[in-house]
Structures are given as C-alpha cells and as structure tokens.
A and B are shown apart, each in its own frame.
Chain A
Amino acid sequence: MAEPARPHSIRRTLLLYLGVLSLIGAVLLFLAARSYGRAAADRSYDHLLIASALSIADSVALVDGQWQVDLPYAALDLLAMAPEDRVYYRVSSNRGAITGYPDLPAPPSPPLDGKPKLFDAMYLGERTRFVAVSRWVAGPASQGQAIVQVGQTRIAREALADDVVLRALIAIVALSLAALSLVWVGVHRALRPLQKLERDLSLREPSDLKPVPGSVPLELGELVGALNRFMGRLAASNETLRAFMGDAAHQMRTPLAALRAQAQLALDEDDPAEQRRSLVTIERNANHMSRLLNQLLSDASAIHRSHLQQFETVDLAELLHQALYESIPQSGPRPDLNLAVTSDPVRVQGDALLLREAIKNLIDNALKHGQPRPGQMGGPLQIALTVAEGEGNAAFSAVLTVADHGPGIAAADAQTVFERFARGRDAASGGAGLGLAIVKRIVDSHGGRVELSNRVGGGLVVTLRLPRSAL
C-alpha cells in the first residue's frame, strides 16, 4: 500500500495542472501589462506633444503675406518634462518650411484641421514620436494653411512604459508565487486524509479488521466505505471459519470416539457374532460421519459462496427440477410426490448452485423426517412453486413450499431449528443438524425468508420466499 515510488501521483498531477494554470495566467497578465504600459506612456506624453504643437500653432500669424512665428517658450520647455529627450519642431506652409527643422519626416497623411496626427518615424537615427497639427491662418490680406510638426525622442516614454511593466511584473511575480504556494498548500491539505488513511492502515496489526475510524472527505467516503465493507466481510468470514472449524472438530470428535470404542470392543471380542455386530455399528457410525462431513462441506461451500454474492438471473423452476432429480433416490421405491409449479416465469437473482443446494436440503429433510408416524395419515410430499405479492423492494416474491406429513416441529424447537448442529428433539438419527441452518444461510444471503409452520393433521410446511427479479 505504501510503495515509495508510485508510477502515478495525484499530487504531481494537481501541482502540474494548477501550476501551469497560474503560470499561463501570469504570462497573460504580463502581456496585458506591457501593452497597457506602452499605451499609457504614449498617451501621457502625447498630451504634452499635442499641447506643444497647438501652442506653436497659436503663435503662427500671416502679416503682409509673410508668415510670422513667435515660438512660445513654454512650447519646447514643456517637453523638458521628458528630461532626456530631444525635441524637434517645424512650421511649414504649402510652399515649404517656415522655420524649425526643415528635414523632419513627413506625416503618413496630411493632418486634418483640428485633428492632431500622431506617428512614429526615424529621425537622426532615433525612433521619434511626432505630432502634426494643421492650422488655417487668415491675415488681413491673405490666408493660408500652416502645418506645425513637433517631435520628441522616446526615451521618457520607454522609461515610463518599462517602469509600469516592472511594477506590474513585481506584482505578477508576487501574485504567482502566492498562487503557487496556495496551490501547494491546498494540494497538500487536500491529500492529507489520504496520507492519514494510508498511515492508519499500514500501522495496523494484520488481524485488526476494525472499520477505519473518523470522518473522511466526501470524495473518499465511497472508497473508505467499500474498504470497511470489505474488511467487515473478511472479519465475518474469518469468524465463521473459526466457528466452523471449532464446530466441525467438536462434531467429529464424538463419532470418532464411538468408532474407536466400537473398534476396541470388536478387537476384544472373541465371539464372531459379537464382532459382526460391532462392525455393523462401526459401519453405521462411519456412514453418519460421512454424511456429517458432506453436510459440513456443503455448509462451508454455502458460507463461502454466499459471501461471494456472485448472483445472476436464474430460473427457479428449472432449479427445482434439477434438485428433485438429484434428491430423489434413483434406486429403491420412488417416494410419493406431488409437484405444482406456476406457469409464470419465476426468475430470481441468485447463485444457482446455492439455491439448488437449499432446495435439495429441503427435499432431503422432507423425505427423511416427513414420513408419517405409525398410526397417522400419510400422503404425498407436496412441493409448490408460486408467485406472490412482493415484500420489501421487490414487486413480487417467488414462493416455494414443501409440505410433508411428518411429525412437524415442536414449538420449543421452532426458534433453534435453524441454528447449526441443532436438531429436533425427536429427530431421526443420521442428521447432523445442519440442513435447515444451511437453507437459512442461503436464503438470507439472497435477501429472502424461510418460515416453518405445522399443518393441520400433522406435517411440516417449509415456506421459502425469494424476491423475484423483474422479467
């Protein structure tokens, strides 16, 4: 149960999946932060750039057909908010540059009036952010279109974006570490009951088959329940086996002692007639022992198989016929027998071997003990298979009755007759007292009931009810 190297680890699987999940989350967050950082940096510095271009545009005038630009000090000083960045500007009309840097890269498309055009371009070997604004200037005598273009290198933008990304990265790393440790702790805690169960079981004495104590998580309930049921069955089977062996030893001891005594007697006897009588006794006792052994074996088989519970759908009518065939002696006088079987299909969930054994036992009992006493009315052995209203969960029951004309059963014995090695007070010799006990065990394991009743005018009726399976 506690192998050091397990080929498949639930913990590893959980850690792997949850870990990969949080890492994917972290990567997505990082990408989002990077794109946000760039956008935010561009947005904030673009405002400055646009403000600068607009203030320059405000200073453009057309006087006597001559362009005038009174560059405001703040227009460029404003851009020193980005302390390390170079600044370029140009004011141009449709006839060319008016002032500033004449060789600035042109915007991809001319700016519309009132709409600043932002774009990136290379200038003096450096990627530079530009804004171009257009202004319609009207003088007293003339008018014209002025385009103001202001550019700034991207050092401060990149620094701001990097700063945003760095801060986000720190948060993401911290978050991921927290998530991973939470995953680790969570998985550890979730699997702790499993470890506890493992430790609990591995520390047990081999003979300790008590149910697992304490409450377990919902997910383990079924497993532990099954384990407990299994151990219960194992314990019961152990107990039964111990009791069986005790009983068997006890039961075998008496006839064996008698056998030895008879044999001793026969050895001491000189008279052949007496010797023969002793031998007859020995043979009878040996027969009895043989029968006893058979019944013990049958009981053991019934115990074993009823624990196995390997049930399938069986036809009770067919089983009855087989049992009759096997129970009725093939030689000698055929017993008088009355058989009534319903025409409805009588199928039950059960172990065919066990059920046949139970029926055979009932028929055996009836044949053995069901002979009328001298001076009483006899009659045929009556066996009937019918379908009745169901009990418990089953809609219908299969009912098998075996009625004989024997002495019936005393009220005092009615309770004990199903116990093993219990025999009726005035039962004929040759029985081991196991027959009805076997029947009861088998019927019980099939969820059925067995009832005994005395019939009017003498005789015992054994009624066997089994839940009938659906058609």
Chain B
Amino acid sequence: MRNAKNECRKVRNEKKRATSRYNAARCLCLYSLLTLLNSFFSAAYAAPGDTRTFKAAQTATAHLRIHGSTDIENFAAVIADYQRLHPNTQVEYSDLVAQDIYTRHLRARAGDRADLLISSGMDLQTKLANDGHALAHRSPATAALPAWSQWRHEAFGISYEPVVIVYNKRLLRPEQVPRTRRQLLALLRDPAAKLAGRVGTYDVARSSVGYLLATQDHQLGSMAGALQAALGDNRVQLEERTGPLLDRVARGDLALAYNVLGSYAQARVDAGAPLGIVLPEDYTLVLLRTALIPRTAPNAAEAGRFLDYLLSPRGQAMLARQVGLQPIRAADGAPLSPHARDGARVRALRPIALGPGLLVYLDALKRRQFLEAWRSTVQPGKAAADAP
C-alpha cells in the first residue's frame, strides 16, 4: 500500500519537476536554455534516480552499491579517491532523494539491495536504525567520532551541514540581508522589499530534508509559525531539491531561499554564483549527512571499509574539498569558517541530534497534522483549492 502510494508520489514528482522546468523556461528563456543545455550536454546536475558505475581500476574482486542523496558529480571524486586506495572495488552509486533511499530499502528484493545508504534525511536513517534495519559497525574510525554524531553504532554522521539562508547578492542590498529570523520576518513583512513571489524554500510535502528542517524549526523556535505565515504571504516558491532552488536564486529568479543546505550553496559560491550565505544568528540548525549499513547489505564488510574511509582524515578532507561538506571531525565546537566568509559570526549552532526524538514527526498522524498546518499557512490559496 505504502509502496503503491510512494510510486504514485514519485510519478507526480516527476511531473511537477518537468512542469517547473517548463515554467522556468517560459519565464526566462535565456536562462532556461542554458540550463537545458547544461543538463543535456554537460550533465552538471544529473537527475535523481541516476545510477553510475565506477569500474575498478584492476580486476574487480569487491563490489559496493551505494544509495546516496548527494549528487553523483560531487561524490564521484570521493569514490575515485577510494578506488585509488582499493583498486579492486567496483562501486555503483545511485543518486536518490532521501525519501526514496528509505522506501527503496524497505521494499528492496535480493539483487537490488544497497550496501550503504548515505542520506541527508537523518530522521529516516534514524527510523531505519530504530526499526532494526541497520547493521552495527565498530572500527577505530567510528570510535574516534564524537558521541553526538552517531547513534547505536548504526547511524553515522559523515558531514556537518549548517542550514542557512541564501540570497542573491545582486538583488538584496547588504543592509537588507537578514542576520536572524526576526530580521528575515521583518524583511518579508516590509512591502518595500518587494519579495512577493521571489522567496523560496523546500516543499516540505515532497522534500524529506525540507520536512525535517521545518519540523525542527517548529520544535526549536517560537517564530516558526509567524515565519511560515510571512513566507506564505509572499507566495513562497517551493522546490523539492536543493539544486534547482539554489539555481533559481543564482539566476535572480528568487531573491532569497530559506533553510537551505549550506554545502550546496557554498559549492555554487565557489563556482562563482552571485550568492550570499547567512547562518542565522539566533540559531543555526546543523544537519548530519548520515550513513548506514543495512542489515541486508550483500557486501557489508566492503561498506564498512568505505564508511571508515569516509570518516578517515583523508576521506573527510576529500568530502570537504570535492563535495563542500563540512568534516565531522573538526566540527566539534570549531567555527564554521568556510561558510562564514561574509563575516557573520555563528554563535548558536544547533546540531540535530540523532536519536528517537526524530521519530516523532515521522509518525503518520503527526506528519498529516503538521503538513495540514503548514499548507494552511504557507499555501493558503492552494490549501483552500485542494480542500474537497
């Protein structure tokens, strides 16, 4: 039943994605043309669901199948580096959204099973571990991890990702840039700012990471409700994936995106996009990109080896350099200098804790209630239209 629903949802997602691309193309022909060219010829942003096989340099004696929510392009360098250390390992990487990683694991049959799940949906990963789907992995590398970055030796945070506000530097003047949520709220309510239809965030109904971040906001801040309402009043644009959302900000389609994974934004900044990154000073959520070895993994030992590599200084450096992910090891209280180049000082980092608390918003009733409330504030018109 769940699978069927998921299947439906997936189809719908694909449709929506296509529609949004079409809309974007219609609105800004030049940009859209470039984007389409990009996606067709350079494959800079591979579509989710893509699978790529990295052949072993020598005779393949070991196989590793990874389901990850990180873009293949970014992760390829990491896999290549791993294959330099283990030239006999053939790696197959599938780029999936967090929700799909979860559901595909649950309905996977023999032959289709992944050896390692790397997902920014830490709540879904936690649920897999809680429900007994994960294999415990203990090694010197995991023993060196800080206690908050792993759970039960089953779910391991491999990188440390601040959740940030991203804005287009050409569209927002420096004095307009919000440093806190209160300033963001004020900016959204300011009619002079003319932000209507030009702010974006995740579609929490489709993006499990967006859902996680929205629920954490709801959990942590008293301002979350007001902020949602203000976003809704400004006809907030919703995206399922981080890439397209950031692209729209970079194109100037949107002036500002709220609750975005910092690593993606940083990658675009490094690539020259006119983006500014703000770590909210009232509190900055920190997401852990979480790795997990399924109990059903055909090559669990190889998965453990790969996980140890990711957690090793070399792997962490590779993640930071190639993927733009903040390493987990140096994260223990260290200032987030790579993301704070605009001078913002970060005082209130709130890492989302791995643990049973994350199961609460995965509860079906809880999720339904949260989404209803969210829709009614963020998409008041749509919610009314959807209502039977």
Contact surface of A with B, Cβ cutoff 8 Å:
68-73, 75-77, 79-80, 83-88, 98-101, 124-126
Contacts and interface: CB of A to CB of B under 8 A. Distances in A.
Chain B's interface size range is 20 to 34
A456 to B, nearest CB: 122
A71 B356 contact: no
Interface in B354-388: 355-357, 359-361, 363-366, 369
Contact of B357 (A80, A86, A126): A80
Nearest to A75: B360
Contacts of A70: 365-366, 369
A86 B152 contact: yes
A71 B355 contact: no
A68 B365 CA distance: 7
B355 A77 contact: yes
B219 interface: yes
B353 interface: yes
B105 to A, nearest CB: 16
A76 B369 contact: no
A86 B130 contact: yes
B175 interface: no
Given A76-B359, A77-B360, A80-B353, A71 B132 contact: no
B131 interface: yes
A241 B310 CA distance: 106
Contacts of B147: 83
21 contacts: A70-B365, A70-B366, A71-B363, A73-B219, A76-B356, A76-B357, A79-B356, A80-B353, A80-B356, A84-B151, A85-B356, A86-B130, A86-B132, A86-B152, A87-B130, A87-B356, A87-B359, A99-B365, A100-B363, A124-B131, A126-B132
Interface in B101-154: 129-132, 147, 151-153
B356 A86 contact: yes
A86 B131 CA distance: 8
Nearest to B131: A124
Nearest to B366: A71
Given A77-B356, A77-B360, A80-B357, 11 more contacts: A70-B366, A73-B357, A75-B360, A76-B360, A77-B357, A80-B353, A83-B147, A84-B153, A87-B359, A98-B365, A99-B365
A87 B127 CA distance: 10
B370 to A, nearest CB: 9
Contacts of A99: 363-366
Contacts of B356: 76-77, 79-80, 85-87
Contacts of B365: 68-71, 98-99
A431 B220 CA distance: 131
A128 to B, nearest CB: 11
Contacts of B360: 71-73, 75-77
B132 A80 contact: no
Contacts of A125: 132
A196 to B, nearest CB: 61
A185 to B, nearest CB: 46
B214 to A, nearest CB: 13
B128 to A, nearest CB: 11
A88 B362 CA distance: 12
Contacts of A72: 360
B125 to A, nearest CB: 14
Contacts of A80: 353, 355-357
A73 B355 CA distance: 12
Contacts of A79: 356
A158 to B, nearest CB: 14
A87 B366 CA distance: 17
